Amino acid sequence: MDINGASAIVTGGASGIGAAAARQLAAKGATVVVADLQAEKGEALAKEIGGVFLTVDVTDTDQIKAAVNAATELGPLRAVVNSAGIGWAQRTVGRDGEFDSAHDLDAFRKVIAINLIGTFDVVRLAATAMSRNEPDADGGRGAIVNLASVAAFDGQIGQASYSASKGGIVGMTLPVARDLAAVGVRLNTIAPGLIDTPIYGEGEASEAFKANLGKNVLFPKRLGVADELASMVVELITNSYMNAEVIRVDGGIRMP
């Protein structure tokens, strides 16, 4: 599928995987709406790639609608990448076996609201706009890529909410792709392994943390870089025969 002259939306586009995807989609000729909470980084990126930045909280349906409307003014909306997400650590039970009140239900709800429900809301609103596009030779009108995580398959201590949110994204891939096939829209999901982005924080402690994480990667023994994920995003958007797939991009990592 050709995206030259089309518009695209990248949620979480101000940072990390989303920013790399926005750059690579722009290089393919799309005008990208960078939709994120981080205005300074988002504005700078939009300027660099000839796109538009919009403050969008993916838990706010009206803000998503505004982004979809803005994109359709820039060209037919043919590509959407759901990269907005947060990591969160909480234990359901404290180390001493007591319930840990610092890690409450609200924290769990917040992760689900952003990572899972936010992703679904963007998918449904974007697909509705895509359904109005002129079809290509296949009848294709657009493509969407969601970002899950290997945490969907492999849960770590304290990451119930994160794994549940990403497992939900994996779980919705096939049924939503089936729904969207009726309007010529493809949906694929990427499950990244450990990718060196600001999601792990910045500074000495996070560098040491990341260096340690790299040991679990099969090969190459390092964290992934955002461009290695973004090139898969572009493949899934532009390859018209990719649909309803969940692809790990993770260096073969299996967490202990």
Which residues would be at the binding site for ligand NAD (CB under 6 A)? 11-12, 14-18, 36-38, 56-59, 83-86, 114, 118, 147, 149, 192, 194-195, 197-199
- Name every residue whose Cβ is closer than 8 Å to that of residue 158 and which is 6 or more positions away in sequence: 89, 90, 91, 103
Residue 44 vs 181, nearer CB to ligand NAD: 44
Give dist(CA 122, CA 66) in Å, integer: 11
Output the smallest distance, CB 256 to ligand NAD, in A. 17
Nearer to ligand NAD, 9 or 194 (CB): 194
Name beta bridge partners: 142: 185
Residue (of 35, 1, 7, 19) closest to 230 by Cα position? 19
CB of 27 to ligand NAD, least distance (A): 18
Count CA atoms within 13 Å of residue 236 on its CB side.
Answer: 27
Closest distance to ligand NAD from the beta carbon of 78 (Å): 21
Q: Measured between alpha carbons, how far is 57 from 37 in angstroms, rounded to an integer?
A: 6
Question: Whole-number minimum distance, CB 13 to ligand NAD, in Å?
Answer: 7
Residues 251, 217 contacting (CB under 8 angstroms)? yes
Q: What span, in angstroms and rounded, lies between the C-alpha atoms of 88 and 85?
A: 10
Task: Just list the catalytic residues.
Answer: 162
Please say which residue, 164 or 199, places its beta carbon nearer to ligand NAD: 199
| Complex with ligand NAD: residue 81 or 177, whichever CB lies closer | 81
- Answer yes or no: are the C-beta atoms of 64 and 122 closer than 8 Å: yes
SS3 111: helix
